Amino acid sequence: MLILGIETSCDETAASLVQEKDGNLSVLSSIVSSQAKLHAKWGGVVPNLASREHLKNIIPVLQKTFQEAKKKPPEIDLIAVTNGPGLIPALLIGTSTAKTLAYVWKKPLLGIHHIEGHIYANFVNEISSISKSKFPMSKQISNPKSQISFPILCLIVSGGHTQLILMKKHLDYEIVGQTLDDAAGEAFDKVARILGLGYPGGPAIAAKAAMIATSDKRQVTSKNKSMSHVSCHMSQIKLPRPMINSNNFNFSFSGLKTAALYETKKHPEFLKDKEYISEMCHEFQQSVVDVLISKTLKAAKKYHPKTIMLAGGVSANEELREQFGKAVSSLPATSYQLPATSYSIDNAAMIAAAAYFRWKNMSNSQKKEASNNWKVLETDSNLKLK
């Protein structure tokens, strides 16, 4: 089965062709055109600007997707498109394009929830644990059934969502915890803005934090006499771990962002200091990682998952991937799964992969109805995961 995936929910115009054979999903092509540079000027995504860019890019991205996969439209069996949640002006470009193609090419069409896509990014990869270097960036073939067993506890960490989801079987979602305010990615983006690091904030903060990767390095820094005025303050940066001890599996990141803001206001002159910025990034990132790991382990103690999974843009964070892996290895009989970093951030292979599992679960009459979806598929900025 050959599936065309389309994703335009935020600031990435993405299309992908995913081939299924005997239950194995192989990514033939995954093209992502990012608008990050364009939105950086505004410090975040501007919906109407995103829409205009999607409109400009969607056809070239589709052309490249078919070219790279060496496939022609008649060969596809199914079209899948993100129909929510997301920015309506952005989503509409993807859904209108998908509906038009489904009509013209006479193909069945499925609308996919963006977060369901992130979860199923874990099923297109040769899944391994911990280090990025172990993951090839694209064209991976794997047996989705090989390593992932239910129940799965999935931590979704993206720009718009932070949720702990329990899956007892495919396509079955119970949200056991979520953020009460900002999403983890949103916090990365806002703190990056405070520190003058631009948009998107996650990769920028991770890069600065990596300059102070170990406590050993920090000791070396504090002994550096030429930096003594700064290092004295650097070693004092201590941000809170919000809700780490709360008696539930919810999160809150807005207070952490405010704490980072107050910290910088104490010494605005330090914002010019590269080492101070690195130290702030390191402490902020570590706070997010500590909370995410602690809450997930707490939920694992209650739900006893066989697999703990990461998904969403923040799961591209190397420190999170690595420290999470170490933490999960302390749990008996629980495996750790995470997507390749190229499938952590928004892409369309994940949408096609989720569509495969949806399709497999549908009755013949439901599959027939999907041929009518070019007419009836709706776009919903607040689409619920069900």
Does 200 bind ligand KG4 (CB under 6 A)? Our answer is yes
Q: Which residues pair with 5 in a beta bridge?
A: 16, 80
Does 11 bind Zn ion (CB under 5 A)? Our answer is no
Which residue number, 115 or 300, has a Cβ lying nearer to ligand KG4?
Answer: 115
**Quick one: CA torsion of 132, 159, 115, 207, rounded to 10 degrees?**
0
Does 111 bind ligand KG4 (CB under 6 A)? Our answer is no
Which residue number, 160 or 242, has a Cβ lying nearer to Zn ion?
Answer: 160
Look up residue 385 and give its DSSP letter. Answer: P
Contacts of 285 (CB under 8 A, 6+ apart): 188, 205, 206, 209, 317, 319
Integer CA distances (angstroms), 222 to 264, 266, 356, in order: 19, 20, 53
Which residue number, 144 or 313, has a Cβ lying nearer to ligand KG4?
Answer: 313
Stretch that binds ligand KG4, among 98-106, 185-193, 211-219, 267-275 (CB under 6 A): 185-193
Nearest to 337 by CA among 152, 140, 151, 138: 152
Which residue number, 158 or 337, has a Cβ lying nearer to Zn ion?
Answer: 158
User: In the complex, what is the shortest distance from the CB of residue 208 to ligand KG4, in angstroms, rounded to a whole number?
Assistant: 11
Integer CA distances (angstroms), 176 to 20, 37, 246, in order: 31, 35, 14
Q: Residue 316's binding partner, choosing from ligand KG4, Zn ion, none, with beta-carbon cut-off 5 to 8 A by kind?
A: ligand KG4
Integer CA distances (angstroms), 71 to 17, 140, 162, 325, in order: 9, 17, 36, 37
Q: Residue 314's binding partner, choosing from ligand KG4, Zn ion, none, with beta-carbon cut-off 5 to 8 A by kind?
A: ligand KG4
Write out the two tokens for 116: 């369901």
In this structure, the number of other CB atoms found within 10 A of the CB of residue 323 comes to: 17
> What residues between 146 and 175 interact with Zn ion by CB under 5 A?
158
Which residue number, 51 or 158, has a Cβ lying nearer to Zn ion?
Answer: 158
CA distance 271 to 22: 55
Q: Residue 200's binding partner, choosing from Zn ion, ligand KG4, none, with beta-carbon cut-off 5 to 8 A by kind?
A: ligand KG4
Write out the two tokens for 381: 């900025």
Which residue number, 82 or 337, has a Cβ lying nearer to Zn ion?
Answer: 82
Which residue number, 305 or 312, has a Cβ lying nearer to ligand KG4?
Answer: 312
CA distance 244 to 260: 17
User: In the complex, what is the shortest distance from the CB of residue 103 to Zn ion, in angstroms, rounded to a whole number?
Assistant: 27
In this structure, the number of other CB atoms found within 10 A of the CB of residue 73 comes to: 13
**# residues contacting Zn ion (CB under 5 A):** 2
Does 13 bind Zn ion (CB under 5 A)? Our answer is no
**# residues contacting ligand KG4 (CB under 6 A):** 19
Does 345 bind ligand KG4 (CB under 6 A)? Our answer is yes
> What residues between 264 and 323 interact with ligand KG4 by CB under 6 A?
312-314, 316-317
Per-residue contact flags (x/-) with Zn ion for residues 308 to 347, judged by CB under 5 A: --------------------------------------x-
Q: Side chain identity at 339, as an amino acid letter?
A: P
Binding site for Zn ion (CB under 5 A): 158, 346
Binding site for ligand KG4 (CB under 6 A): 10, 158-160, 185, 188-189, 200-203, 206, 312-314, 316-317, 345-346
